[in-house]
Amino acid sequence: MKFNNPTGSIVAMITPFHEDGSVNFDVLTHLLERQIAAGTDAILTLGTTGEYPTMSHEEDASVVAHTIKVVNGRVPVIVGSGSNCTATQVEKSIEYQNMGADALLLIAPYYNKANPEGMYRHFAETADRVNIPCLLYNVPGRTGCSIPVSVVEKLSRHPNICGIKEASGDMSYAMKIAHCVGPDFALYSGNDDITLPLMSIGGSGVISVFANVCPDVCRQIVADYAGGHQDRALETHLKYLELMNDLFIEVNPIPVKSAMNMMGLNVGPMRLPLCEMSEAHQAVLRAALKEAGLL
């Protein structure tokens, strides 16, 4: 399916594991079908929420292949192919393109970081080597660096870079890149709590953690706002805001996987260095789920 900058809710999928840590493909199938049944507009696999840093390259590829097979063209599949090594990012991007990915999510180089020119080349080199659309991923809380506004401006004119997942939570930064938004460059919120503010400055929707828990609600919020029912969208958004925030009470994806297990979705454990939530935070999350009518 062609990725055509969809407006809506794009779920940042968790990766379910068996108790021994291996990927649980049966549960993954169920979760993908659950998303499609709820009307989710696109699927992102191997994002931060998918725990890809703890998975081998072979496991990454097997999750991508399974996701593409199950989705079977019903919605676009975006694959996180990012790396702090540009050559690795290019290699993975080409592989996932050849496997049938509809678009790629490319992260800013973490740990080694880069100056603005190196940052630009990191993304442009990858986008030059593939034939499917690429989304930038700005998440300085994970990478230790933000994509400079000047680099976003320059990359927004690249013919194969179609948008950005903006997950800094910095509305001032979002405002500075909002003028880049147009038919060929989309802005997606990477933070559930500010989806509507980003849509108010031209955003197309959200790449969502919350959608793992409430895919139908997440899609409805974005659809209502985009459809001119801003008051209804805001009412629903505020109703679930506490739960959205509690899904980040510890480092993602610990809370969302814990919530899904509480809901009986049996997504299994995290992989170290991620581990189970504290008992106090489990109580907070369980209360939020109960308040939202999900237990």
Options 165, 173, 188, 257, the catalytic residue = 165
Which residue shows structure tokens 């050559």? 87
**Which is nearest to 101 in space by CA: 68, 72, 124, 127?**
68
52: annotated active-site residue? no
Residue 118 to residue 129: CA distance in whole angstroms: 17
Query: Catalytic pick from 52, 120, 137, 188?
Result: 137
Residues shown for the chain: 295
Strands, E assignment, 98-133: 103-107
**Cβ proximity of 268 and 254 under 8 Å:** no
Is 35 in a helix, a strand, or coil?
Answer: helix
What is the Cα–Cα distance from 48 to 96, expressed in whole angstroms? Answer: 17
Question: How far is Cα 221 from Cα 32, in angstroms, rounded to an integer?
Answer: 20
Report the C-alpha gap between 129 and 289 in whole angstroms: 44
CA dist 124 → 20, 37, 97, 177 (Å): 39, 36, 16, 18
Which residue from 24, 11, 12, 13 is spatially nearest to 268, judged by alpha carbons? 24
Q: Which long-range contacts (CB under 8 A, 24 or more apart) does 15-18 make?
A: 15/45, 15/46, 15/50, 15/51, 15/52, 15/55, 15/63, 16/266, 16/267, 16/268, 17/267, 17/268, 17/269, 17/270, 17/271, 18/268
What is the rounded CA–CA span in Å between residue 6 and residue 10? 9
Q: Name the residue among 63, 12, 17, 13 with its Cα closest to residue 270.
A: 17
225 is catalytic: no
Q: Which residues does the annotation mark as catalytic?
A: 137, 165
